[in-house]
Structure 1
Amino acid sequence: MTQTRVRLWNIDEYHRMFETGIIAADERVELIEGQVIPMSAKNPPHAATTLCASDYLKRLLAEVALVRVQDPIQLSQYSEPEPDIAVVRIDLRKYIDHHPAPNEVFILIEVADTTLETDRKQKALLYAKAGIIEYWILDVNQRQVYVFREPSSEAYNQEFILEEDTTLSLVAFPEIEVQISQLFP
């Protein structure tokens, strides 16, 4: 049996693809483990939830963290995903010279309406391997939050689901309570 070797792209090559027009500037893609992956379209419930959750988190975390919306983070030389929301360390220059790295990330959040399984399997593994301390999936359809904590090289060791009527504290900011209902429109 003949095996085909897959050519993986690194971040520098990925950026050059945009600079040279191989990938159009308005194409919605992200680099995941060396592969250029198309991103799902955002329907109205996804967009509304992303806006609602990011606005709420910006108010809650105004003095302690920066909330980025649908911007890249650099997990490794081969992964530059664009999570729906990234809560990162405050950088006075707003990350003008680099995208946040795992040691600068407090939590990543994906909003799922049609992508729940991909977010639970592919993204959770990617983020766990990178050592992201906390990862949430906002399930638009069930109005609940999947919470992932305690990353290892193989998975998150802790996973649980919270209903809309509960509260949750962030690992990085245990004194701040997040009302799950406020994350959804």
Structure 2
Amino acid sequence: MCQSFKTLAKWSVDDYHRMIEAGILAEHHVELLSGEIVEMTPESPFRTVYGEGLANYLRIRLSDRAWIREARPITLANNDD
């Protein structure tokens, strides 16, 4: 009996950014999580409004003590530990 094995390709941040630049992922809402490209549900209007309201509240409360950033992409250094 022959066994079939599937190997999951792990993508680097550079690979992911090149796919975005090439337009390969243009029609998809995706994120790169632990080397896997994961399709995400688009943000709902309710969540958008709620997120903006919370961010504005924090900006007022924290004024110059913190930088509030909402719903923007972020690239973190890889940590394989």
Shorter-chain-normalised TM-score: which range? 0.7 to 0.9
Q: Give ranges in structure 1 of 5+ residues lacking alignment.
A: 79-152, 154-185
* Aligned-residue offset at 1:37: 1.3
- TM-score of the superposed pair, with normalisation by structure 2: 0.77
Question: Which residue does 1:31 correspond to in 2?
Answer: 32
Which residue among 18, 39, 47 is the counterpart of 1:16?
A: 18
* Aligned-residue offset at 1:67: 0.8
Question: Which residue does 1:45 correspond to in 2?
Answer: 46
Aligned equivalents of 2:22 and 2:42: distance in 1?
A: 24
Q: Give ranges in structure 2 of 5+ residues lacking alignment.
A: none
Indicate the structure with greater helix content: 2
Aligned equivalents of 1:48 and 1:16: distance in 2?
A: 31
Aligned equivalents of 2:51 and 2:14: distance in 1?
A: 29
Indicate the structure with greater strand content: 1
Amino acid at match of 1:57: L
Size of the aligned set, in residue pairs, is 78
Identity of aligned residues (%): 31
**Which SS does the other structure have where 2:37 is aligned?**
strand
Query: Which structure's relative contact order is higher, taking Cα pairs within 8 Å and 6+ residues apart?
Result: 2
Q: Whose Rg is larger?
A: 2
1:17-166 superposed matches below 5 A: 17-24=19-26, 27-77=28-78
- TM-score of the superposed pair, with normalisation by structure 1: 0.38
Question: Which residue does 1:5 correspond to in 2?
Answer: 7
Note the aligned Cα RMSD (angstroms): 2.2
